[in-house]
Amino acid sequence: MDSIEQARRWASAKEKLRAAQLCYDQLLYGESTTRSYYACYQAMWAAVGDPASGLWRHGGLINEFCRGRWVTPMLLPSALTRLRKKLEALYRLRIAVDYAADSVSLVEAESGLNGVRELFQMIAHRTGWAL
């Protein structure tokens, strides 16, 4: 991935975080959760780069990001265990909202937003990208 595409994906991730916050503020917790997840998805894609072929599958992108090879020096996967659990939980919530039409509580939506912010801070700290 070239630097222009990387910057485009990082900007897209930040836009999705803003949308997640707006939905949360309007008590649209399910929609906030889906935007939170896709903010993470775009941020991780910007960090790890393009897949070998096609599009990233959700689990594959989370796995690749949590291997810690997207930054130098490489992060140990154990350093990302807690974040991995948050990403996987957010993904499961997103699936429940989008496919099962489940509702999301204020606490769950807040947890999603906090997870995005944690992910963004880690990426920004390791890459020097602006939040």
Mean pLDDT of 99-123: 96
Residue 97's H or E segment, with its range, is: helix 81-100
Domain count, the chain: 1
Q: What is the CATH number of the domain that holds 90?
A: 1.20.120.330
Question: What residues make up the domain containing 105?
Answer: 3-127
Give the pLDDT confidence score for residue 20 in this predicted structure. 98
Measured CA to CA in angstroms, residue 75 lies from 84, 104, 106 at distances of 13, 32, 32
Average pLDDT over residues 115-131: 95
Dump pLDDT digits (tens) for 1-56. 999 999 999 999 999 999 999 999 999 999 999 999 999 999 999 999 999 888 89
Q: Is 63 helix (H, G, I), strand (E, B) or coil?
A: helix
DSSP state of 76: P
Work out the pLDDT band at 119, boundaries 50, 70, 90. Answer: very high
- Look up residue 120 and give its amino acid: F
